Amino acid sequence: MKYTDLINEALRGYMPKSDDIVSRAMKYSIENGGKRIRPALVLSFCEMCGGDIEKAIPLACALEMIHTYSLIHDDLPCMDNDDFRRGKPSCHIAFGYEYALLAGDALLTLAFETALKADLPPDRIIDATKELAIASGWKGMVGGQVIDLQNEGKRVTVEEIENMDKLKTGELIRVACVMGCIAAGRRDLIKSAEEYARCIGISFQIVDDILDVTSDTATLGKPVGSDNENEKCTYVSLLGIEKSKQIVSELTQKAKDELQNFDGDTSFLEEFADLMEQRKN
For 68-101, the pLDDT digits (tens) are 999 999 999 998 888 988 889 999 999 999 999 9
What is the per-residue pLDDT across 151-194, written as a single tens digit (0 to 9) for each?
887 888 989 999 998 999 999 999 999 999 999 999 999 999 99
Quick check: helix, strand or coil at residue 232? Answer: coil
> Which domains are delineated in the chain?
4-274 (1.10.600.10)
Q: Return the number of other C-beta atoms located less than 10 Å from residue 271's C-beta.
A: 13
Residues in the chain, pLDDT under 70: 215-231
Residue 86 pLDDT: 83
- One-letter identity of residue 51: G
* Residue 222 confidence (pLDDT): 56
pTM, to two decimals:
0.91
* Closest of 236, 272, 281, 268 to residue 252, by C-alpha: 272
Short-list 6, 3, 4, 26, CA closest to 15: 26
How far from the centroid of its chain's Cα atoms is residue 67's Cα?
A: 5
Query: What is the reported pLDDT for 69?
Result: 97
Residue 227 has what pLDDT?
57
The pairing of strands 88-89 and 84-85 is: antiparallel
Q: How far apart are CA 111 and CA 89, in angstroms?
A: 23
